[in-house]
Structure 1
């Protein structure tokens, strides 16, 4: 990444919904959003189980955020999606949406593990 405002999204590449959604964001903002499948190698400060439980994003300053805040970081960078970040950023909206996301996330579909990377996790 060369753009100073770029982020890295750590997402579940075995989830077809996650893969499709993240690919769409990256396609619309290729210089600002880099994708990293959390089923592969991860930096030491990103926990695989936590990253599989909810979206994680590394901000330009190196801080890793997760959940709804991670979506906000992405939407702020995708052309035409800033309004959604603005609309859902206030705590009285963000907190319930984050709780709903974390409650629903475990029910997302997942493909069978590939290359033995996630043996024993499914």
Structure 2
């Protein structure tokens, strides 16, 4: 996995939990991660419904990772979080965590409207 250059995280900024977590990573700088609200404009290769269903991350080489692999891509780069990437990368751990994440994600809290996003 390419760890040179920033990631772009497509996340649900209407979710207070998602916002808090992504801001925690983003405070390490734009050279590591850039945040992109998936409620706004998206590139053609990122589907809004899929991005709302699970975290999407664009790697520096242009590939897009989703779900638990997206979290691993973030943790590999953010200081102090690499241990979590190493711990959860093996398939016997990653796959059940991804299934659990995708099952729980639809139940996250979401604001109804913010900054005119209600039409999305």
How far 1:41 moved relative to its partner?
0.6
TM-score norm. by structure 1 comes to: 0.91
Q: Which runs of 5+ in 2 are unaligned?
A: none
TM-score norm. by structure 2 comes to: 0.92
- List 4+ stretches of structure 1 deviating above 2 A: 113-119
2:5 & 2:83 partners in 1: Cα distance? Answer: 18
2:10 & 2:94 partners in 1: Cα distance? Answer: 20
Q: Which residue of 2 aligns with 1:72?
A: 72
Q: Is the 8 A contact 1:29 1:79 kept in 2?
A: no
Q: Label 1:77 to 1:69 Cα distance change in 2 as closer, same or farther (>3 A).
A: same
Q: Label 1:4 to 1:83 Cα distance change in 2 as closer, same or farther (>3 A).
A: closer
Q: Is the 8 A contact 1:39 1:118 kept in 2?
A: no
> Larger helix proportion, structure 1 or 2?
2
Is the counterpart of residue 114 in structure 1 residue 114 in structure 2? yes
1:64 & 1:29 partners in 2: Cα distance? Answer: 20
How far 1:89 moved relative to its partner?
0.1
Q: Is the 8 A contact 1:10 1:37 kept in 2?
A: yes
Q: Is the 8 A contact 1:67 1:102 kept in 2?
A: yes
Q: Which residue of 1 aligns with 2:51?
A: 51
1:4 & 1:97 partners in 2: Cα distance? Answer: 26
Q: Is the 8 A contact 1:7 1:34 kept in 2?
A: yes
CA RMSD of aligned residues (A): 1.5
1:5 & 1:101 partners in 2: Cα distance? Answer: 26
**Alignment: residue pair count:** 118
How far 1:116 moved relative to its partner?
4.2
1:94 & 1:118 partners in 2: Cα distance? Answer: 34
